[in-house]
Amino acid sequence: MEKYTPITYRIRRNENMVGHRTQIKIVGEILDTATQEIDEYEGTTITHIIRKANISHGRLSRILNNLVSQGLLEQVTSKRSYRYKTSPSGREFLTAYKTFREFSDDFGLTI
């Protein structure tokens, strides 16, 4: 029988975890993706966010509307499409989220 140390327990637990991401994790991925600028345009496209965050268009649209209304994302209109960029408040939120995620990972907690 294998002995479990805190590290092997965390690895085994994460290997066995098959499930859905939390809403906060999805929001973190969206904000992180929207901080990256693509091409010469400001912000990033919905398609790029869909690919990076691995989320459906319908669900992403609802989350984007929510994040824009809360001031965490800014919608930028370009000739070709709507683009999104992380607002200063969104960058502050993202920094706090990443700090908390690292802290919780150190204790073997999943957020």
Which tokens belong to 110? 């999943």
- Kindly report, residue by residue over 56-95, the tens digit of the pLDDT: 999 999 999 999 999 999 999 877 788 999 999 999 999 9
Q: How far apart (Å, rounded) are the C-alpha atoms in residues 3 and 68?
A: 48
Going from N- to C-terminal start, the domains of the chain cover 22-106
pLDDT above 90: residue 10: no
Predicted confidence band at 49 (pLDDT cuts at 50, 70, 90)? very high
**Distance between CA atoms of residues 104 and 10, nearest Å:** 12
- Please give the model's pTM, rounded to 2 decimal places: 0.76
33, 86 contact by CB (below 8 A)? no
Share of the chain above pLDDT 90, in %: 58
Cα–Cα distance for residue pair 95/10, rounded to 1 Å: 24
Q: In the CATH hierarchy, which fold is given to the domain comprising 22-106?
A: Arc Repressor Mutant, subunit A (1.10.10)
What is the pLDDT at residue 8? 47
